[in-house]
Structure 1
Amino acid sequence: MMLMNRRGVLAGGLAAAVLPGSEALGALSATEPKRRMAPKAIGTAERMARIARARVLMEKAGIGAVLVEAGASLDYFAGFAWNRSERLTGLLIPREGEPVVVTPFFELATVTELLGIPAAVRTWHEHESPFRLVTRIMAERGLAAAPIGLEHSVRHFIRTGLEVASPRTKLVSADPVVAALRMIKTPAEIALMQYASDLTLDAIAEVHPRIRPGVGNREVAAMLQQAMVDRGGSNPWALVLFGAAAALPHGTGRPLTLQAGQMVLIDTGCSFGGYQSDISRSFVVGARPSAEQRRVWEQVAAGQQIAWRALKVGAPAGSVDDAVRTAYARWGYGPDYQLPGLSHRTGHGIGMEGHEPINLVRGERTRLAPGMCFSNEPGIYLPGKFGVRLEDCFYMTAAGPRWFSVPPATIDDPIGRSGA
């Protein structure tokens, strides 16, 4: 259940800044952890294959060009990461011909250096409209009357800028092209996601024995982040919750100190090669789990398996969430999203972003297909007491789902193992 902006602030994203010289961090850094054999990075050939597949979908949808702005999709196609700002830097992918990067003139050298595909780079000056430049390029390519596709995440000022620059140009959704491509991962992408998952699980296994009564949640978050960095992960994040705070899916801003017998909920991950991991574990420290803690943990574990059995190629994605909620209601939770019970969807898409289409949520009719990747995290939350979330990601194959991380079998051995 990755939610970087809020989670990073509330639950330990500041931990590295708060505790840069802590004893725990020093202890973790003292011994270099054994690294796994890293898979190959995504290269130019794969990105050009993505553009070729995009053009097939554009032709089918009647789209003349797709404009991709800064963000994960720009990296997906063009091979470089770029922060969004008030200035447009984007990639125009026409139905045919060379792709074109549109960027401010003063960014020309940097963009040229970072660009990961063969593409033209066209610039605009500060007093000029980048949107007029886009429409001019469209005209030069013989596409002046063709629709331009925009992702659902494209910001409003870009859409309105294009509308002003070319009122007659039809702007349409590019999701049938971009989202459809990114939703289906290739073997190279799955290998990177497996590696990110493995190093995250290794970090959890390393930190788990160091979690004892008296430790702070931010200290644990810092240890997890450092352990992932030590293994080659980037942009690590960690949500760590104790006791009643574990009943809040995205945590609390208050610092927490672990007491013996409390439920510990860890939700953590990182990026490797541009692809994300996301794993949650719940366990009890300093005492044997109570009967209630054990029962709820086992119900969540059963919920994961119910979701797993519903993962059939061709089944609507929403049917997985339906299967879990039906069982939870039978066990006395809910109904629906009511607490105590499961207050969020069963799972989310994952890839270059921690959350991306589609989701395992009621009403989602998109049919499961090989290459799709999701989290499986049907938590149960008891307000004022504790919450349990087990989260493991998986990918679909023609033969059914395969785990990136295999869930633990018991609360007494709560780490699990790699699905590789």
Structure 2
Amino acid sequence: MSQLPSFPPRISARTYAERIEAARASLIASGLDALLVSAGDSLRYFTGLAWGGTERLVAVVIPASGAAYMICPHFELGSLAESIKLQLDVRSWEEDASPFLLAMDGFADRSHVALDRDLTLRIATSLRNARPGITFTDDPGIVDTLRACKSAEEIALIRHAMAITLQVQKDAWEFLHPGVRASEVIRFIDTRHRALGADNGSWFCAVQFGPATAFPHGLPGDQLLAENDLVLVDTGCCLDGYHSDITRTYAFGTPDPEHERIWAIEKEAQLAAFDAARPGVPCEAVDAAARAVLEKHDLGPGYTLPGLPHRTGHGIGLSIHEFPYLVRGNTMPLESGNCCSNEPMIVVPGRFGIRLEDHFHITPTGARWFTEPSHSITKPFG
């Protein structure tokens, strides 16, 4: 078993404070008076607070001028104090009070407040009803833009999470045996993630055998592995909230010649997407590079099957899927610090699918892999 790199530092309180200051600068540039970010991954980005959303408002309010503050139910103050990574003023509310009035206390009518795009409709409507004199607008992209360009701290955490999952993928390959159930492999993968230091075992895990590999997210039921089956394993974990996400597809035994042919095309498409990714290149160009390889081999075009039924990649960080997306129509240029998946899956309907998924991050000179891509259909790990 290869040795994992040393555990990287956690995100520092100073970094959280710098993120809030960066949001404040963007608010001023946009002519906005405040940004409200509710429970979820973006709240964690700004405060370090890992808190799932419910009907009760837990949020950070970042004014363009003045100190940022938290909104929290009074009975949750103890839990918040133990979890938050940044010292902020907290405005708490009792169950019979309005957190929406409290959140906007101090803002005059005609203020312009941006709302986190992941805010629920229930909370957004309650804010508007509580303060009809305030103009609430969707975040124009402040949060997505900040989160999309990862710092060295974030990249180190993602790299370590990826290293854990790549080792788990290797261990799962060695664990396979005829007659094993997919559910057994999933449990094994979860146990290995925990043993290697992931936050809470596997964040997700899909294990597919044979014809089930033709479905990007699998089929219901518990499959049994047979000799010479095609195997697809897609799994990941979290480290300080930052995700890994790796897919390997390989033959358990002797590969079918058509499996080998499509596997080689998949590998070629993945490398073409990687080579196209560099600063200033539109996201859609990376997707187009992968599809050009498929079309050269008479697959597709577009989303036509046999071919690639979905985008080539997604951003990754505190969310498993986040901005930016490598998809046709996304003309946003890639920037240094962007972290993206590269998974131009090929589906042959009713028969099988091949997905090789690794991630890269953009540097000033081009893309850099987080993990070494798969070697072959019979020796995926070399």
How does the TM-score come out when normalised to structure 2? 0.96
Cα distance, 1:109 vs structure 2: 2.1
* Residue equivalent to 1:172: 137
- Given that 2:35 and 2:114 are in contact with CA atoms closer than 8 Å, whether structure 1 keeps it comes out as yes
Of residues 343-352 and 380-389 in structure 1, the stretch that sits farther from structure 2 once superposed is: 380-389
Provide the rounded CA distance (Å) in 2 between the counterparts of 1:262 and 1:382: 15
Provide the rounded CA distance (Å) in 2 between the counterparts of 1:415 and 1:360: 26
- Paired residue for 1:264, among 231, 240, 256? 231
SS at match of 1:56: helix
- Paired residue for 1:227, among 192, 196, 200? 192
- Paired residue for 2:372, among 384, 403, 406? 406
SS at match of 2:86: coil
One-letter code of the match for 1:150? L
- Given that 1:33 and 1:231 are in contact with CA atoms closer than 8 Å, whether structure 2 keeps it comes out as no
* Residue equivalent to 1:330: 296
SS at match of 2:105: helix
* Residue equivalent to 2:210: 243
Provide the rounded CA distance (Å) in 2 between the counterparts of 1:309 and 1:195: 23
User: For residues 46-57 of structure 1, what are the structure 2 equivalents within 5 Å?
Assistant: 46-57=15-26
- Given that 1:233 and 1:270 are in contact with CA atoms closer than 8 Å, whether structure 2 keeps it comes out as yes
- Given that 1:317 and 1:361 are in contact with CA atoms closer than 8 Å, whether structure 2 keeps it comes out as yes
Provide the rounded CA distance (Å) in 2 between the counterparts of 1:121 and 1:145: 25
Q: What are the superposed Cα offsets for residues 333-385 of structure 1, whole Å, 9 maximum, x if unpaired?
A: 12211211110110001001100011100000110000000000001111221
* Residue equivalent to 2:114: 149
Cα distance, 1:328 vs structure 2: 1.1
Gaps of 5+ in 1: 1-31
Q: What are the superposed Cα offsets for residues 15-63 of structure 1, whole Å, 9 maximum, x if unpaired?
A: xxxxxxxxxxxxxxxxx99653100000100100111111111111111
Cα distance, 1:258 vs structure 2: 0.8
* Residue equivalent to 1:216: 181
Provide the rounded CA distance (Å) in 1 between the counterparts of 2:134 and 2:123: 14
Count of aligned residue pairs for this structure pair:
380
Cα distance, 1:138 vs structure 2: 2.7
- Given that 1:149 and 1:172 are in contact with CA atoms closer than 8 Å, whether structure 2 keeps it comes out as yes
- Paired residue for 1:204, among 161, 169, 179? 169
* Residue equivalent to 1:370: 336
Higher RCO structure (Cα 8 Å, ≥6 apart): 1
Cα distance, 1:291 vs structure 2: 1.1
- Paired residue for 1:107, among 58, 63, 76? 76
Cα distance, 1:158 vs structure 2: 1.3
- Paired residue for 1:138, among 99, 107, 110? 107
Matched, 1:415 2:381: yes
* Residue equivalent to 2:274: 308
SS at match of 1:271: strand
Cα distance, 1:145 vs structure 2: 3.2
Provide the rounded CA distance (Å) in 2 between the counterparts of 1:35 and 1:316: 34
Provide the rounded CA distance (Å) in 2 between the counterparts of 1:118 and 1:203: 37
Q: What are the superposed Cα offsets for residues 66-88 of structure 1, whole Å, 9 maximum, x if unpaired?
A: 11100011111111111211110
- Given that 2:278 and 2:363 are in contact with CA atoms closer than 8 Å, whether structure 1 keeps it comes out as no
Aligned-residue sequence identity (percent) comes to 38
- Given that 1:57 and 1:176 are in contact with CA atoms closer than 8 Å, whether structure 2 keeps it comes out as no
* Residue equivalent to 1:273: 240
Cα distance, 1:115 vs structure 2: 2.1
SS at match of 1:405: coil
- Given that 1:112 and 1:121 are in contact with CA atoms closer than 8 Å, whether structure 2 keeps it comes out as no
Provide the rounded CA distance (Å) in 2 between the counterparts of 1:111 and 1:99: 16
Cα distance, 1:175 vs structure 2: 4.5
* Residue equivalent to 1:18: none
- Given that 2:275 and 2:367 are in contact with CA atoms closer than 8 Å, whether structure 1 keeps it comes out as no
Matched, 1:39 2:8: yes
Matched, 1:289 2:255: yes
One-letter code of the match for 2:38? E
- Given that 1:151 and 1:175 are in contact with CA atoms closer than 8 Å, whether structure 2 keeps it comes out as no
Provide the rounded CA distance (Å) in 1 between the counterparts of 2:278 and 2:308: 22
CA RMSD of aligned residues (A): 1.5
Provide the rounded CA distance (Å) in 1 between the counterparts of 2:334 and 2:100: 37
* Residue equivalent to 2:149: 184
- Given that 2:56 and 2:73 are in contact with CA atoms closer than 8 Å, whether structure 1 keeps it comes out as yes
Of residues 110-119 and 88-97 in structure 1, the stretch that sits farther from structure 2 once superposed is: 110-119
Residues 167 and 370 (structure 1), Cα distance of their counterparts in 2 relative to 1, 3 Å cut: same
Provide the rounded CA distance (Å) in 2 between the counterparts of 1:111 and 1:88: 13
- Given that 2:148 and 2:337 are in contact with CA atoms closer than 8 Å, whether structure 1 keeps it comes out as yes
Provide the rounded CA distance (Å) in 2 between the counterparts of 1:353 and 1:186: 15
SS at match of 1:59: helix
Cα distance, 1:131 vs structure 2: 0.8
Provide the rounded CA distance (Å) in 2 between the counterparts of 1:108 and 1:273: 22
Gaps of 5+ in 2: none
Matched, 1:385 2:346: no
Return structure 1 stretches of 4+ with deviation > 3 angstroms.
Answer: 32-36
Provide the rounded CA distance (Å) in 2 between the counterparts of 1:345 and 1:323: 12
